[in-house]
Structure 1
Amino acid sequence: MWVSSLASILPLVVLAFALPSKDCEHQVKEEVVPPRGWTIFGPAPSDHFINLRIALPQSNFNLLEQHLYEISDPYHERYGAHLTKEEVEDLVAPHPDSVAAVNEWLSSHGIQEEDISRSSAGDWLAIRVPVWLVEKMLDTKYHIWKHATSGDYIVRTTSYSLPKDILDHVELIQPTTMFGTFKRLKSTIHSISPTNSQVQAQNQPPVSDPVTGLTVDASCNTTITITCLQQIYNAVGYTPSAHVGNSVGIAGYLGDFANRADLQSFFEDQVPAAAAVNATYNFVSVAGRLRFLGFSSWLTLSKVVSTHKIPLTLAWSLTSILSLRSWLDFMLSHPNPPLAISTSYGDDEQTVPESFAKRACAGFAQLGTSIWARFTTSNSTLCVPQVPAECRSRSLPETGGVGDGDPDPATQTCITNDGQNRTQFIPGFPASCPFVTAVGGTILFPEQAVAFSGGGFSNYFARPSYQDAAVQGFLNKLPKGTYSGLFNPNGRAIPDVAAQSDFFRVFAAGQPIHVGGTSASSPTFTGFVTLLNDARLKKGLPSLGFLNPLFYSTAASGFNDITVGNNPGCGTEGFNATVGWDAVTGLGTPDFAKLVKLVT
């Protein structure tokens, strides 16, 4: 798998010797301690090709961030005045001096303009080069690394350097020090007979929540269906329009894909009107690299909650944490992306270099400033203009409570990856990005927090101002010294919101099964955001865009506060669900009827 033909690299070899490479003293740009679990397997073959991505500094990101918060603040006069794609790109375009300096550096190594792919804003460059040339350019040495647990192999280095005269013109280069293993956020598939549980519940009286006053079918405590979600979240009877320009999207990675036949079975089971018109989805392959290795039943959820009247787009990307960058590039270049997006993939924040995490987070800010919205998951995560089906961020990722994602508490390490081997709660990325909406998990009715709901505080991102009041209130209620040193109380807090996350009835290979995880919470919540967009579009209002400033202010009363449950991990009971925001379920779960009134 490491061998490339001589013919394929000959043009680069000729060019590299045809031009003198830039002779300038190098300085270390980034270095990391080899992460726990990774060991050197051997030297990287010199002719192995690497798809190198180079980030140039974004010239006016601070101004873009200001725009984002102004247009997302319901108290601001500019609320809802999203920027155009071109206006966003102007704000993040690199300075001409950076472009010229990096072009000259690449040219000195025989890399010409036709060898370079550039993002729409020109702030990211991509080149495909062999190891021997990358090592020369970055004054480093690559190795093949093997992961002890997964058995995965990757080609990486633990440090790289750049000529001093371009050091400030390059923000980061990857893959270099990136050892993260992009993963599904712990979805679980239970081989249960949902039919039996439904039959048993048919003879039970409806269940009422004395706090919300809502009543749902007893079967919803054993099997979650579209009808259950409509009942639990007060959306019974709402009908979206097919003619207001609404849309929803789901991102998929790691070979997961939706199955059209299973989708039809699902519709026949729960949404007969959709089955009758053979409703389906649009599929887009990002970077042309789709592998059919499995199925992801989550991919149906946003669609069915939003109903078959709203166009659904499924977009797949590659198979590592770097896929997130490819996906962002694609979405940022798209002339008409979905208005809400869900994702359910991510990794422990500490396995992603801080420089990459912050730059990827900036990409979510770009999306939020434009005309659409997105979710991701971290325990759940969500982004807006809005994102992903198994994510910890602008929708959510699924984690093992406050732990490192290992569902077995006995084997959770919760050890830092910085060489100091400190015990610490492990936040997830991209859920920890402040420009996405992270979604946590609940279970049963009346609702309570589910134990595997991720939650906690970022070590990379400071707490955004929109969270200050809600999160400080939570911290003030913690007994003094609780988990001292195990989390960063000043970090961006997750999750933001929550939704049902277990006992979902879906179809796989034509058979009904039960599935669970915050990989279900994220697309479920995204579906209701899509309905909120529908309500706004019907009134001639713009789509919601970046959600968090709205949720933590004028829309806060539109959530059902979850006060029961906790998210154990790292040998602790984790955080408790409590009155107000908490690090298990965030602000709570949506009351759609209330939210519609608040946002329209």
Structure 2
Amino acid sequence: MRLQLTSPVSDPSHERYGQHLSIHEVTDLVKPSDESLDLVHSWLEDNGIPTSHCEYSPAKDWIKISLPINAIENLLDTQYSVFEHSEGGYLVRAPEWSVPKHLHEHITAIQPTTSFFSPQKLGRTFKKVLDISADTPPPSTNNPPRNTDPAIIAACNATLVTPLCLRTLYGTVNYTVQSASKNSIALNDFLGESNNRSDTKLFLQRYRPDAVSGADKFSVQLIANGNNEQTQENATELAAGKDMEGNLDSETIISLSYPTPLIAYSTGGSPPFTPDLLTPTNTNEPYLEWLNYVLNQTSLPQVISTSYADDEQSVPLSYALSVCAGFAQLGARGVSLFFGSGDAGVGQDGACVSNDGKNVSTFLAMFPTSCPYITSVGATKFIPEIVATDASNGFVSGGGFSRYFARPSYQDAIVTPYIKALGTQFSGLYNASGRAYPDLSAQGYHYSTIWNGSLMPLDGTSASTPTVASIFSLVNDDLIAKGKPPMGFLNPWLYSVGYKGFMDVVNGSAIGCGTTGFPAKEGWDAVSGFGTPWFPSIRELAANASAAVVAR
């Protein structure tokens, strides 16, 4: 069973708005039927696998089994092999798999099997490493227009984004956290990333001295052998840029939301295969590992930021649908999920070809940001803000339309006029009836980041995503202080009234696939969403939406 796109608890017009569900209520909604469980259990037992070997998600909609490789091959009538990924690393996968016909309507997905996708970090490295003692980077060759607001001019340098700039630009600089004991925010680390406390402390000492203690206080929850390495990176790790992504996330979130408690989820994964010389590390997809962990928790952070994605078409549809349904469960429980919209515009030049056997030209949607149950975040640069790009490393803020997920009803009135205005431009390259993204944006260009003890400016929607997540964590802080529920799944509120709290971005486009890509326009567009946040307005709109329900 799937949760409805516009759940009453997420719909500002509904009398149940804000009345988020408990873990038990969500479990009752999504649990499989007794018939489905009985049939799957019988199938396993017929293959010599007792139910005592099964591990279950809270709703028992996912079953995890650890077995020898030959037992799995017999169970699925297939053969697993070791495949080398073109970008490095190895995957243990099967070219095909099957289950008895009577189980087809009862089993949605089995992983890992035929999927070869590899989630990517969304941070792009600026080419020059700057000395930590320097106050500002070298002068930029760009000459962006400057905002006439004296406070913003004083706080923001065109070539380096700092916490003070973000707090001033988006209106949180004078806000005092009130509900730190009842509110929390989280980030996701995948692919061996961790959040270096030493680097985070250096960053806070430099840019947010009153928040330095946050570097020691954030908690780390390890999932499926996740990583929490705090020692100095070796030469191989430095060459790979290990922890750039993790540091960017922790430094941004603490500097913007302190003293709100931060949780870092570090997910490895435990594929049902014995590691060997060719597959020494986990090769399982991380999202389900993470979901099965957090959905089992009775207490959850109100906001979670995730800076990873991959081409949607590389993700098996059954897997994407299952993961997206898990995100819906979190939203119904009062969690706001933010994902970066991607760092290659509508697709990286030379790679914009379908993988369905037809090999036709296509824009490349990204997953999980294409899931309609999450809030997708694009990136901007400069002041006034325009769509973020960086020719030095190929970064272009992502945007587009899903081929897997239909456009949700909350988007119809907003997105349809944009598509109509495009006319026949890009006809056939995208799914005009698909879920459109991003939903909103924030600065994502030349973010000040401390990595390996040095100042490293980074680009990417992995910068804008924790920024927006932090701002909405402060919105939740204010709501909780007023005795109101947190925002939870944002999008129905965002598309009906919340968009009024955002500053429109009208210049730039999601360049890619040898085209100019989707352009920024007045109102919502498929590269900047509704634009960038203005906290004072969002704070008021969120409180009023909650108050309107209470008044009924």
Q: TM-score range by the shorter chain?
A: 0.7 to 0.9
Which runs of structure 2 are paired with 1:73-84 in the superposition (5 Å)? 73-84=11-22
- Residue 13 (structure 2) pairs with residue 65 (structure 1): no
What is the CA-CA distance between 1:326 and the residue it aligns to? 0.5
Counterparts of 1:243 and 1:498 in 2: how far apart (Å)?
26
- Residue 175 (structure 2) pairs with residue 231 (structure 1): no
8 Å CA contact 1:214, 1:234 repeated in 2: no
- Residue 400 (structure 2) pairs with residue 456 (structure 1): yes
Within the candidate set 395, 401, 424, 2:362 is matched to 424
8 Å CA contact 1:302, 1:526 repeated in 2: no
Counterparts of 2:497 and 2:87 in 1: how far apart (Å)?
45
The answer to which structure has the higher strand fraction is: 1
Cα displacement string for residues 422-457 of structure 1 (whole angstroms, at most 9, x for unaligned residues): 110000000000001010000011110013111000
Counterparts of 1:340 and 1:198 in 2: how far apart (Å)?
32
- Residue 454 (structure 2) pairs with residue 511 (structure 1): yes
Q: Normalized against structure 2, the TM-score is what?
A: 0.87
What is the CA-CA distance between 1:214 and the residue it aligns to? 7.3
- Residue 316 (structure 2) pairs with residue 353 (structure 1): yes
8 Å CA contact 2:380, 2:397 repeated in 1: yes
Query: In the alignment, which residue of structure 2 is the partner of 1:110?
Result: 48
- Residue 223 (structure 2) pairs with residue 286 (structure 1): yes
8 Å CA contact 1:501, 1:519 repeated in 2: yes
Cα displacement string for residues 536-558 of structure 1 (whole angstroms, at most 9, x for unaligned residues): 01100000000111111111110
What is the CA-CA distance between 1:191 and the residue it aligns to? 2.7
Counterparts of 1:496 and 1:599 in 2: how far apart (Å)?
17
Query: In the alignment, which residue of structure 1 is the partner of 2:24?
Result: 86
Query: In the alignment, which residue of structure 2 is the partner of 1:123?
Result: 61
What is the CA-CA distance between 1:280 and the residue it aligns to? 2.7
Counterparts of 2:123 and 2:212 in 1: how far apart (Å)?
30
Query: In the alignment, which residue of structure 2 is the partner of 1:11?
Result: none
Query: In the alignment, which residue of structure 2 is the partner of 1:552?
Result: 495
SS in 1 for 2:419: helix
> Aligned letter for 1:454?
G
Within the candidate set 305, 323, 326, 1:363 is matched to 326
> Quick check: which has more Rg, 1 or 2?
1
Listed as ranges, the gaps of 5+ residues in structure 1 are 1-59, 380-397
What is the CA-CA distance between 1:131 and the residue it aligns to? 2.5
Counterparts of 1:278 and 1:103 in 2: how far apart (Å)?
47
Distance 1:487 1:256, change over 3 A: same
- RMSD between aligned residues: 2.1
Q: Normalized against structure 1, the TM-score is what?
A: 0.81
> Aligned letter for 1:416?
S
Counterparts of 1:320 and 1:231 in 2: how far apart (Å)?
42
- Residue 527 (structure 2) pairs with residue 564 (structure 1): no
Which runs of structure 2 are paired with 1:111-510 in the superposition (5 Å)? 111-147=49-85, 149-193=86-130, 196=134, 198=136, 209=147, 215-217=152-154, 219-275=156-212, 279-290=216-227, 292=229, 294-295=242-243, 296-318=246-268, 322-377=285-340, 379=341, 398-404=342-348, 409=349, 412-451=350-389, 452-478=396-422, 480-510=423-453
Counterparts of 2:368 and 2:540 in 1: how far apart (Å)?
30
Counterparts of 1:268 and 1:132 in 2: how far apart (Å)?
54
Segment of structure 1 superposing worse, 305-314 or 348-357: 305-314
Aligned length: 506
Q: Percent of pairs identical after alignment?
A: 38
Cα displacement string for residues 250-305 of structure 1 (whole angstroms, at most 9, x for unaligned residues): 01001111011111111111111122676531000012332745212222244324
Listed as ranges, the gaps of 5+ residues in structure 2 are 230-236, 269-281, 390-395, 544-552
Segment of structure 1 superposing worse, 299-308 or 367-376: 299-308
> Aligned letter for 2:383?
F
SS in 2 for 1:216: helix
SS in 2 for 1:249: strand
SS in 2 for 1:168: coil
Distance 1:489 1:108, change over 3 A: same
Counterparts of 1:473 and 1:277 in 2: how far apart (Å)?
45
SS in 1 for 2:167: helix
8 Å CA contact 2:386, 2:508 repeated in 1: yes
8 Å CA contact 2:386, 2:505 repeated in 1: yes
8 Å CA contact 2:179, 2:477 repeated in 1: no
Counterparts of 1:213 and 1:114 in 2: how far apart (Å)?
66
What is the CA-CA distance between 1:523 and the residue it aligns to? 0.5
8 Å CA contact 1:402, 1:425 repeated in 2: yes
Distance 1:285 1:509, change over 3 A: same
> Aligned letter for 2:370?
S
Counterparts of 2:411 and 2:42 in 1: how far apart (Å)?
44
Query: In the alignment, which residue of structure 2 is the partner of 1:25?
Result: none
> Aligned letter for 2:176?
T
Kindly indicate whether structure 1 or structure 2 has the higher relative contact order, using CA contacts under 8 Å at least 6 residues apart. Answer: 2
8 Å CA contact 1:242, 1:309 repeated in 2: no
> Aligned letter for 1:123?
D
Cα displacement string for residues 84-137 of structure 1 (whole angstroms, at most 9, x for unaligned residues): 110000111110111111111111111112211111111100111222222221
Counterparts of 1:214 and 1:580 in 2: how far apart (Å)?
26
Distance 1:488 1:421, change over 3 A: same
8 Å CA contact 1:82, 1:371 repeated in 2: yes
